[in-house]
Amino acid sequence: ASLLDFHQDATKVGLDGDGAKVASHIRFVDDGLLIVEDGKIAYAGAFEEELINGDTVHDFRGKIICPGFIDTHIHYPQMEMICAYGEQLLDWLKTYTFPTERKYSDKTYAREMAMICIRELFKNGTTTAAVFCTVHPESVDAFFEVAETHNMLVIAGKVLMDRNAPEYLQDTPERAYDESKALIEKWHGRGRCLYAITPRFAPTSTAAQLEAAGRLRREFPDVFVHTHLAENKAEVEWVQELFPEARSYFDVYKRFGLTGRRCIFAHCIHLDDTDMHEFSDSRSVAAFCPTSNLFLGSGLLPLQRMREMHVLLTLGTDVGAGTSFSMFQTFHDAYKVSQLQGAKLSVEEGLYMATLGAAHALGLDDRIGNLDVGKDADFVMLDPTATELQQLRWATPSPLSDRLFTLFMLGDHHNIFRTYVHGAEVYARSS
């Protein structure tokens, strides 16, 4: 097989103004060999006969091995309401989302859905995800339990909501604190499970609850924070009414100690320059969710401004507001969002955001993100020619970069041939 990833040095430049620097750190080995030992990468490089000491060799000529994709924002309880018709964010939440999330108080149901979600992630080549559960601790246990059976590196947490949501989905500042703390102690660092303190978004938490979330973060500084930020204009205005003392939506989170390293913010569309500077300086992580932003009509992420300010940018599917589990389809919409604003988004930048860039943004690039020796063996085998059209395009002489671009634009789960987590095959395409 061929090997495709980024040199670790790519993290030193990240996404710059035109993406050229990160693109120069891409690695492609046409006739490659990957050796896995004890769930870790033992060799990745040119195929050499003498490296094979009687080990089993699998021949995957024509396939491309790349690091497993990292989806930095997804809601597993929203799969069953994907593509819900007609509403924008706030009405969409009321009409479709909240009634659906109610079902996740049932642990058995939550487990079934967690299994489907993880299967779907693997089928799309995604090996790590940052996942919203629901307000119910059962929904968190269910998700981690299933992830653990696959040895999958996941980030997940209990949603915190104590206002502006139906009674049946609310907790309180005290319950938010106590239940999150118990879940952190149970799951954070167990196997490959990692915990995220997960206030849904500023409008559904009181100041007291955000304060409790901030207190938790101070007590557990290596735990993640995962929330939504500046997705929709009506939402941004509402936050300004609810927190008149804050300078901006981002400032609300900042005041409660919920910004900085390992804090993941989905969307980040409507930020002013001050916010963007503070966001970047704090090393907070932005999850760009283009399929969701287009589906809910939320707006266009100012990609070029964010690149120029060296914001840590990653890609999220945001299923069920997002319309696909595929990181190819997510890139596809990211590219179009970029084009609508007169900017370019290269496939190298897309691959970087979906792999090493996300690992680096999350502080996990010592474990995942590329095929360096010693990293966890989370990788995908891509089939660039799953359809007749793709075969035609792939066979047409053009630079590798152009052919990869077409693969990412046209790609979906059909182009995922195998997925491996911690060295074990977790998905194989049926034909």
Residue that has been written with the tokens 């179009």 in this structure: 336
158 binding partner (options Fe ion, ligand GUN, none; Cβ < 5 to 8 Å by kind): none
CB 40 within 8 Å of CB 374: yes
Shortest CB 380 distance to ligand GUN, Å: 26
Contact string (CB under 6 A) for ligand GUN, positions 346-385, x = contact:
----------------------------------------
Output 318 or 349, the one with its CB closest to Fe ion. 318
CA 331 to each of CA 68, 121, 144, 327, 399: distance values in angstroms, whole numbers, following the listed order:
15, 16, 27, 6, 19
Output 204 or 390, the one with its CB closest to ligand GUN. 204
- Helix/strand/coil for 153: strand
358 binding partner (options ligand GUN, Fe ion, none; Cβ < 5 to 8 Å by kind): none
From 48-56, 89-97, 240-248, 324-332, give the range in contact with ligand GUN by CB under 6 A: 89-97
- Helix/strand/coil for 60: coil
Please enumerate in sequence order all residues whose Cβ is within 8 A of that of 7, keeping only pairs 6 or more positions apart, or say none: 25, 26, 27, 370
Closest CA to 100 of 149, 151, 134, 59: 134
Output 124 or 292, the one with its CB closest to ligand GUN. 292
CB 132 within 8 Å of CB 93: no
Output 33 or 294, the one with its CB closest to ligand GUN. 294
Residue 263 phi, psi (nearest 5): -100, 120
Residue 193 phi, psi (nearest 5): -85, 140
- Per rule CB under 5 A, is residue 318 in the interface with Fe ion? yes
CB 3 within 8 Å of CB 31: no
Shortest CB 322 distance to ligand GUN, Å: 8
CA–CA gap between residue 292 and residue 330 (Å, rounded):
9
Shortest CB 321 distance to ligand GUN, Å: 4
- Per rule CB under 6 A, is residue 318 in the interface with ligand GUN? yes
Shortest CB 78 distance to Fe ion, Å: 8
Shortest CB 198 distance to ligand GUN, Å: 10
- Per rule CB under 6 A, is residue 292 in the interface with ligand GUN? yes
Which residues in the 68-87 window bind ligand GUN by CB under 6 A? 75
201 binding partner (options Fe ion, ligand GUN, none; Cβ < 5 to 8 Å by kind): ligand GUN
Residues, the chain, total? 431
Q: Name which position in 2, 11, 97, 205 contacts ligand GUN (CB under 6 A).
A: 97
Shortest CB 25 distance to Fe ion, Å: 30
Residue that has been written with the tokens 């995922």 in this structure: 416
CA–CA gap between residue 74 and residue 102 (Å, rounded):
17
CA 386 to each of CA 153, 382, 413, 415: distance values in angstroms, whole numbers, following the listed order:
28, 9, 10, 6
CA–CA gap between residue 288 and residue 345 (Å, rounded):
13
Output 171 or 383, the one with its CB closest to ligand GUN. 171
Which residues in the 208-247 window bind ligand GUN by CB under 6 A? 228, 231
**Residue 35 class from Cβ within 10 Å (0-12 exposed, 13-18 middle, 19+ buried)?**
middle
- Per rule CB under 6 A, is residue 270 in the interface with ligand GUN? no
138 binding partner (options Fe ion, ligand GUN, none; Cβ < 5 to 8 Å by kind): none
Q: Name which position in 150, 188, 200, 270 contacts ligand GUN (CB under 6 A).
A: 200
Select the residue whose beta carbon is closest to Fe ion and give its number. 318
- Helix/strand/coil for 326: coil
- Give contact residues for Fe ion (rule: CB under 5 A): 266, 318
- Give contact residues for ligand GUN (rule: CB under 6 A): 75, 89, 93, 97, 200-201, 228, 231, 292, 318, 321
